[in-house]
Amino acid sequence: MGHGGNVIQELTADHREVDQMFTEIEAMGPGAPRRRELVDELTKELVRHAVAEEEYLYPAVRRFVDDGDDLADQEVADHAEVERLLKELEGCEAGDPRFDTLVTQLKSSVTSHVADEEKRLFPLLAESCSADFLMELGDKVRRAKETAPTRPHPSAPDTPPANKLLAPGMGMVDRVRDLLTSRGRG
């Protein structure tokens, strides 16, 4: 993920990419080994996306949008649920009876979260911020995704400044683990 444009364009493109990944996962029969690989890729993208939003998008929402604290708190809570599901999925093989149930729950949570961001949060942010600021935020989000973790860390901090300090280190460790385990090289 790294699409270009302002923060809203960048994150919306991420959303469409994740939608496509869910479609690919669902198109495969239950137990197909490739489903596990696709869920690993989906996990990487969702975690990187969430970390970038928590580092840059939600602080901007808190600062510029009326009732931004409440909106950002809800979005962070949504992320916590997604991350919990991703952590549970991390321990499941494609043939595990829980795998399909967890993927279905994950899709439902992600779809609801995406709809809320695109229909409510993004328009409010666009009204409240200049085009230049939204472009700058898009650049920051893209950079954050490059160093973000690739695995779920449900107990990691999700608000600044701790998340900005710890995420790059966790990301480096995750990428080494991914390399050593050949995760995501389907």
- With a CB cutoff of 8 Å and minimum separation 6, the contacts of 169 are none
Q: Which pTM was predicted? A: 0.83
Cα maximum dimension of the chain: 49
The correct answer on CATH 1.10.3470 for the domain covering 7-181 is no
pLDDT digits (tens, 9 = 90+) for 118-164: 999 999 999 999 999 999 999 999 999 988 777 655 555 455 544 44
How many other C-beta atoms lie within 10 A of the C-beta of residue 130?
9
What is the pLDDT at residue 31?
78
- The tokens of 129 are what? 């911020």
Read off φ and ψ for residue 151, nearest 5 degrees.
Answer: -130, 155
Q: Which residues of the chain have pLDDT under 50?
A: 1, 157, 161-169, 171-176, 179, 185-186
Residue type, 101: T
What is the pLDDT at residue 32?
83
Return the domain boundaries, the chain: 7-181
Contact predicate 76/174, CB 8 Å: no
